[in-house]
């Protein structure tokens, strides 16, 4: 019998996009759900997103912590953005705003999330992470040097690596490793503003298929809500949500 794993992540406080993706996931009736982190920062509705994360967890979903979840939970911006010599004021403002918008229980939820989860499907091991195996901040973008990609993906024995962080939907079958990045559910950079998610299908014969999907929703009200917030960088965040392309 086939096993279906739904994957989504990089929600970034966009509950409208999250709801659209969750409705599509529910229609697909997967056997399990994985969420790859970066749940609340940048978007206007962090508490609502975490309410849905709690429901998913209670139903058995595999949820991990992203780097911006560290920024929001503990305001440890150097840990969240180690590639930046100095964290910009816009990043700091977004993290502080989300932190203040969440209650103690929500912040504790973000803190307790693991960096990685593992799921075994038949003979195949699936690693669920945010950036790459062993790292919440080092991603697996397509333009990454091939030698560095190999170095990062061989930090796990998993056949399937489910990750996020780049906000670009893509799958790569590298022989002994299959990478599935569903793209960003709520803050896309790949030119499609719809809510991204993916469905992995594991067949009894060992075949694994990854289907990248989008759930339609209206990003304009979300962009307007972000734009009216008045934080440094909100005009760019609103444009990113509206267009599905990183604007800065």
Task: Chunk the chain into consecutive blocks of 10 residues (it has 248) and report each block's average pLDDT, rounded to whole numbers.
Answer: 97 98 98 98 98 98 98 98 96 98 98 98 97 98 96 97 98 95 98 98 96 98 97 98 96
185: which 2 tokens?
């559910």
| pLDDT value of position 108 | 98
Buried b (16+ CB within 10 A) or exposed e, 122-152: eebebbbbbbbbebbbbbbeeebeeeebeeb
| DSSP string for residues in 104-155 | HHHHHHHHHS-S-EEEEETTEEEEE-SSBTTBSS----TTS-HHHHHHHHTT
pLDDT digits (tens, 9 = 90+) for 70-113: 999 999 999 999 999 999 999 999 999 999 999 999 999 999 99
Contacts of 178 (CB under 8 A, 6+ apart): 159, 160, 161, 171, 172, 208, 210
| pLDDT value of position 53 | 98
| pLDDT value of position 132 | 98
Choosing among 3.90.1150.10, 3.60.21.10, 1.10.3720.10, 3.40.50.300, the CATH entry for 3-115+186-243 is 3.60.21.10
| pLDDT value of position 10 | 98
CA–CA gap between residue 46 and residue 26 (Å, rounded): 22
In 3D space, the residue among 176, 39, 162, 186 whose CA is nearest the CA of residue 109 turns out to be 39
Specify the 3-state DSSP secondary structure of 88: coil
| pLDDT value of position 57 | 98
Contacts of 129 (CB under 8 A, 6+ apart): 36, 64, 115, 116, 135, 136, 161, 162, 163
| pLDDT value of position 217 | 98
Contact 41, 72 (CB under 8 A): yes
């Amino acid at each position: 019998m086939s096993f279906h794993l739904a994957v989504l992540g990089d929600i970034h406080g966009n509950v409208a996009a999250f709801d659209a993706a969750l409705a599509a996931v529910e229609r697909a009736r997967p056997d399990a759900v994985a969420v790859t982190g970066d749940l609340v920062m940048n978007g206007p509705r962090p508490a609502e997103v975490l309410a849905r994360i709690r429901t998913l967890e209670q139903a058995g979903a595999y949820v991990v912590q992203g780097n911006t979840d560290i920024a929001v939970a503990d305001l440890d911006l150097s840990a969240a953005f180690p590639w930046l010599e100095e964290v910009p004021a816009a990043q700091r403002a977004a993290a502080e705003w989300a932190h203040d918008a969440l209650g103690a229980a929500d912040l504790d939820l973000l803190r307790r999330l693991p960096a990685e989860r593992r799921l075994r499907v038949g003979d195949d091991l699936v690693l669920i992470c945010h950036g790459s195996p062993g790292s919440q901040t080092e991603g697996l973008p397509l333009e990454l040097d091939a030698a560095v990609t190999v170095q990062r993906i061989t930090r796990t024995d998993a056949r399937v690596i489910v990750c996020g962080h780049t906000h670009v939907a893509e799958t790569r079958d590298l022989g002994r490793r299959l990478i599935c990045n569903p793209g960003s559910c709520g803050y896309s950079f790949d030119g499609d503003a719809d809510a991204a998610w993916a469905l992995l299908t594991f067949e009894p014969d060992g075949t694994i298929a990854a289907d990248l999907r989008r759930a339609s929703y209206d990003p304009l009200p979300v962009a307007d809500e972000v734009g009216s917030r008045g934080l440094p960088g909100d005009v760019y965040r609103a444009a990113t949500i509206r267009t599905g392309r990183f604007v800065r």
